Structure 1
Amino acid sequence: MTTTSTVEHPRADGSALHLTFAQPVGAVRGGLVVLHEADGVTDGVRLLLLSLAGEGWLTVTPHLDGDDLTQQDLLDATDATLAWLGDRGVQADLIGVVGFDLGGTAALVVASHRRLGAAVSVGGQRVAELPTLVEIAGRLTSPWLGMYGDAGDEAGGAEVEQLREAAASAGVVTNVVHYPGAHHRFDADPAAAAEAWQRTLDWFDAHLR
């Protein structure tokens, strides 16, 4: 049975980054970096790790400080996590990133600064230390799927269309999906949640191969 484990991964500056990961049973198809919400590595994040591991992905989340997260902090932590996956034999073109809420914004930032096999953002929110979504979507360097609802989400309605246009100008494969009337995490809409989950799996299936 797959479980999650937490380790300390040493970094070049002598500090340690806590990583929580789930190893699939059987062959590893590739690696996924999961960028968590502002609440940290919750039971929900661990469930996500397990669910993705059940699909054959070695999944890992770096423990980030959501309150004071800067872009450089995010990129440094992601780089260390990518190195951890590389140390376990995962090839660079078989690595993707996925994030929800704060992690959704973080995944877009990473996908615009690092060349990965694929990236997925589910929802996003304005964070003082991170750029707004539309500002960075045009600089994407990795295939990116963004999925957004309305309620409580900065990227609702017209802004989703702006985001789609900006992403389309980036020169990589992108897709922006809008769920009108749905909560930004789709928790209150089981049908939207199921579709978003399948879209996520399909995106990684298509690009990490």
Structure 2
Amino acid sequence: MTDAPSTPVDLAAPDGTPLTVCAPGGGRAPRGGVVVVHDARGITPYLRSVCARLAEAGWLAAAPHLYHRQGITETPAAGGWPSAAQDMLVFTGAGLAADVDAALGHLAAAGAGDDRRAIVGFCMGGTVALATATRRPLAAAISFYGGAVTTPYWDGVPPLAELAPSLKGPWLGLYGEEDPLISLDEIKALRAAAARAAVPTELVSYPGAGHAFHSDDRAAVYRPDAAADAWARALAFLDSHLGHDSHLA
């Protein structure tokens, strides 16, 4: 008999922030909790699948709906990616921090303390992941091609190259070397900035991969080899920094 699959569900945090949450299937107790921060498109089927993959690996995943103040879950599909890149500029540093903290609070209520919580983000979510790890003492943070490396996106959130030396916990960056939104010089600058932090950091870059190379719902940009390697590294990073033998109560 096999375990029931992990299925994402939508619920509200105590403060009302909408979340997509996915727990390990088959009644398994989570090993810890991971906040998942979506890309500029919002809570898409792809993002839900990421939550399910994390849950299958044993983690309790919680993804805040960052567009909830605009009354939507994801950006209008008709607008495509260029529209989403503009839509994300409605966010503010204060609003992002509040929504991420609501997701962290949900994980804490499930029994995950600072040493059992991590954050992973994609695209602008990767930016949020690193920024969060400079203000909260999390066990790990992972950024898939987070932008705003040298020029900020939002008021109240400095560029990543400025923030990175202040990381409070281990950080892993996963970037494509052919990203039209993040130059090689910026990747190098972010790697050097993160290396100045007083915590373990690593930035891995992939030749032949561009922005959103992990998005398997976008054939034009998806790079299977880079995506598989990056995902394996992300899971290993979580295992290394949160992978205690015990589970959440």
**Band of TM-score, shorter chain:** over 0.9
1:192 aligns with 2:222: no
Task: Name the % identity.
Answer: 41
More divergent stretch after superposition (62-71 vs 21-30): 62-71
Q: Secondary structure at the match of 2:158?
A: coil
Quote the Cα distance in structure 1 between the aligned partners of 2:182 and 2:168.
21
Structure 1's 133 and 155: CA in aligned 2 closer, same or farther, altered over 3 A?
farther
Tell me what 2:107 maps to: 85
Q: Secondary structure at the match of 1:89?
A: coil
Quote the Cα distance in structure 2 between the aligned partners of 1:103 and 1:128.
12
Quote the Cα distance in structure 1 between the aligned partners of 2:163 and 2:97.
14
Give the TM-score taking structure 2 as reference length: 0.78
Quote the Cα distance in structure 2 between the aligned partners of 1:79 and 1:163.
25
Structure 1's 32 and 153: CA in aligned 2 closer, same or farther, altered over 3 A?
farther
Shift of 1:195: 0.3
1:69 aligns with 2:91: yes
Q: Which structure 2 residue ranges, 5 or more long, are not aligned?
A: 68-87, 214-220, 245-249
Tell me what 2:173 maps to: 146
Alignment counterpart, residue 122 of structure 1, candidates 138, 144, 153 = 144
Q: Write out per-residue CA displacement over residues 67-105 of structure 1, whole angstroms, 9 at most, x where no aligned residue.
A: 321122111111111111111112321110000001011
**Which of 1 and 2 has greater Rg?**
2
Q: Which structure 1 residue ranges, 5 or more long, are not aligned?
A: none
Shift of 1:185: 2.2
After TM superposition, list the pairs within 5 Å mapping 1:35-184 onto structure 2. Answer: 35-65=37-67, 66-126=88-148, 128-129=153-154, 130-184=157-211
Higher strand share: 1
Give the TM-score taking structure 1 as reference length: 0.93
Whether the aligned pair in 1 keeps the contact of 2:120 and 2:141 (CA below 8 Å) is: yes
The one-letter amino acid paired with 2:185 is A
> How many equivalent residue pairs?
205
The one-letter amino acid paired with 1:148 is Y
Q: Write out per-residue CA displacement over residues 144-183 of structure 1, whole angstroms, 9 at most, x where no aligned residue.
A: 0001113344433122111111001111110011112311
Q: Secondary structure at the match of 2:13?
A: strand
